[in-house]
Structure 1
Amino acid sequence: MGSEQNREPKVVLDGFSFLECPRWHDGRLWLSDFYTGRVIATDENGAVEVVAEVPNQPSGLGFLPDGRLLIVSMKDRRLLVRDHAGTLSEYADLSKVLDSSANDMLVDDLGRAYVGSFGFDLMGGAEIRTANLVRVDPDRSVTVVAEDLAFPNGMAILPSGELVLAESLANGLTAFDIADNGDLVNRRVWAEFGPVPQTRDVAEAMSQLTVSPDGICADAEGAVWAADCLHGRVVRVAGGRIVDEIQAGTGVFACMLGGSDGRTLFMCAAPSFFEHERRPVREGQLLAVRVDVPRGGRP
Structure 2
Amino acid sequence: MRRGDSAVTTYAKGLTWGEGPRRHGGALWASDPQGGKLWTDAGGTWEGLALESQSNGLWFLPDGRLAAAIQRECRVGIWDGTGFGEYADLHAVATGPLGDMVGDSRGGLYVDDVGYAAHLGEEPKPGRIVYVTPAGDSVVAAEGIEFPNGIAVIDDGRTLVVAETWLQRLIAFDIDREGALSNRRTYSDLREVVSPEARPDGICAAADGGVWVSTLHAHKLAHVRGADLVDTIDTGDAFPIACCLDADTGRLYATVAHTGGLPVMEAIAQKQVQSTVEVFEV
Q: TM-score, normalised by structure 2?
A: 0.86
Amino acid at match of 1:81: I
The 1:193–1:107 alpha-carbon spacing in structure 2 relative to 1, beyond 3 Å, is: same
Structure 1 match to 2:65: 68
Amino acid at match of 2:178: N
Q: Deviations over 1:114-153 (max 9, x none)?
A: 1002222334554321001101112211100000001111
Q: Aligned partners of 2:79 and 2:39: how far apart in 1?
A: 13
Amino acid at match of 1:35: Q
Work out whether residues 3 and 280 of structure 2, in 8 Å CA contact, stay in contact via their aligned partners in 1.
Answer: no
Structure 2 match to 1:176: 173
Q: Structure 2 matches for 1:44-63, cutoff 5 A?
A: 47-50=45-48, 53-63=50-60
Residue of 244, 248, 251 corresponding to 2:239: 251
Q: Structure 2 matches for 1:105-144, cutoff 5 A?
A: 105-123=101-119, 126-144=122-140
Which structure's relative contact order is higher, taking Cα pairs within 8 Å and 6+ residues apart?
Answer: 1
For residue 35 of structure 1, report the CA deviation from its aligned partner: 2.2
Q: Given the alignment of the two structures, is residue 190 of structure 1 paired with residue 187 of structure 2, yes or no?
A: yes
Q: Deviations over 1:238-278 (max 9, x none)?
A: 242323211112111101112742x2111111136549827
Structure 1 match to 2:22: 23
Amino acid at match of 1:251: F
**Greater displacement, 14-23 / 117-126:** 117-126
Q: Aligned partners of 2:264 and 2:90: how far apart in 1?
A: 24
Q: Aligned partners of 1:235 and 1:49: how far apart in 2?
A: 29
User: Secondary structure at the residue paired with 2:34?
Assistant: helix
Q: Which runs of 5+ in 1 are unaligned?
A: 196-207, 292-299
User: Secondary structure at the residue paired with 1:234?
Assistant: strand
Structure 2 match to 1:285: 276
The 1:10–1:101 alpha-carbon spacing in structure 2 relative to 1, beyond 3 Å, is: same
Structure 2 match to 1:166: 163
Q: Given the alignment of the two structures, is residue 242 of structure 1 paired with residue 232 of structure 2, yes or no?
A: no
The 1:97–1:53 alpha-carbon spacing in structure 2 relative to 1, beyond 3 Å, is: farther
The 1:42–1:74 alpha-carbon spacing in structure 2 relative to 1, beyond 3 Å, is: same
The 1:107–1:5 alpha-carbon spacing in structure 2 relative to 1, beyond 3 Å, is: farther
Q: Deviations over 1:37-83 (max 9, x none)?
A: 2222236x983245x64323210101111111111110122211124
User: Secondary structure at the residue paired with 2:217?
Assistant: coil
Q: Which runs of 5+ in 2 are unaligned?
A: none
Work out whether residues 193 and 241 of structure 1, in 8 Å CA contact, stay in contact via their aligned partners in 2.
Answer: no
Work out whether residues 169 and 190 of structure 2, in 8 Å CA contact, stay in contact via their aligned partners in 1.
Answer: yes
Q: TM-score, normalised by structure 1?
A: 0.82
For residue 184 of structure 1, report the CA deviation from its aligned partner: 0.7
User: Secondary structure at the residue paired with 2:124?
Assistant: coil
Structure 2 match to 1:198: none
Q: Give aligned pairs, total.
A: 273
Residue of 215, 218, 233 corresponding to 2:202: 215
Q: Aligned partners of 1:215 and 1:104: how far apart in 2?
A: 8
Alpha carbon RMSD of aligned pairs, Å? 2.7
User: Secondary structure at the residue paired with 1:35?
Assistant: coil
Amino acid at match of 2:171: T
Structure 1 match to 2:94: 98
Q: Aligned partners of 1:276 and 1:265: how far apart in 2?
A: 26
Query: Once the two structures are aligned, what percentage of the paired residues are identical?
Result: 32
Q: Aligned partners of 1:223 and 1:276: how far apart in 2?
A: 32
